[in-house]
Amino acid sequence: MIRGPEMNKNIINYRPIAYTMSTTIQVNDNTMHLLKLLREQYKASSYDELLNILLKKAMKPSKSLCGAGGKLSMKEILKGLRDKSDRY
C-alpha cells in the first residue's frame, strides 16, 4: 500500500462544472452564410452564444408607443376626430 503524496499520483480529480448536450441542426448554405456574418458582427465566440443573443433580442418586448405624439393638449388631440356638424 502506497501512502503520502504517491498515493494520489494516478487519481484523476473529477469535478463536473456543467453538463451540456449538443444538437446538430441542418441549415442551408445561405442561412450558414448569414450566421457567419452575424457571428462576426456580434463578436460571438460560438454559434450557441450568437443564437442566445438573437433569441433574447427577439423575445425583448417592443417599445411602447405611449407618448409618441409628443405633448399635445386634449383640444389638439380631439381636434380632427369629429366633424363640426357631429358635435353637440
- Lowest mean pLDDT: which of 3-7, 16-20, 39-43, 61-65? 3-7
User: How much is the pTM?
Assistant: 0.49
Position 77 in a domain: no
| pLDDT at residue 77 in the model | 73
Position 35 in a domain: yes
Q: Residue 40 carries which side chain, given as an amino acid letter? A: E
Higher-confidence residue of 18 and 9: namely 18
Domain count, the chain: 1
User: Highest-confidence range of 43-52, 60-69, 70-79, by mean pLDDT?
Assistant: 43-52
Position 47 in a domain: yes
Domain membership of residue 41 as a residue range: 12-59
CA distances from 36 to 51, 53, 57 (A): 11, 14, 18
